[in-house]
Amino acid sequence: RQVFDDDQQPAEPTPQAVNGHLDILRPAIANYGGSVEVVAVDGEDCLVRYEGPESIGSGIKAAIKEKFPDITNVVFLQ
C-alpha cells in the first residue's frame, strides 16, 4: 500500500524550506562530524555551507534536488 501526501505540488525552494527538509539528515551528518546550512536559493542554484564526508555531501545534493525540482545546481561553499 502506498501513501501519498495530500499536497502533490513541489515545495517552494526557499532557504527556510530547504533547511527544514535537511533537518531529517542533520542527525546523521552530525554523527559523521559534519554540518549543513542552506545560505541562499538563487533561481536554479542552492548555496549550501557544508562540512563533512564527500559521500554524505552527495546525498545532501540528491535530497535537495529530489524535493525541490526547480533547484538543478547545489553549490557547496568553502
pLDDT band at 68 (very low <50, low <70, confident <90, very high): very high
More confident residue, 34 or 8: 34
Structure-model confidence comparison of residues 8 and 55, the more confident one: 55
In one-letter notation, the amino acid at residue 60 is I
Q: How far apart are CA 23 and CA 21, in angstroms?
A: 5
pLDDT level of residue 9 (50, 70, 90 thresholds):
low
Enter the pTM of the model: 0.82
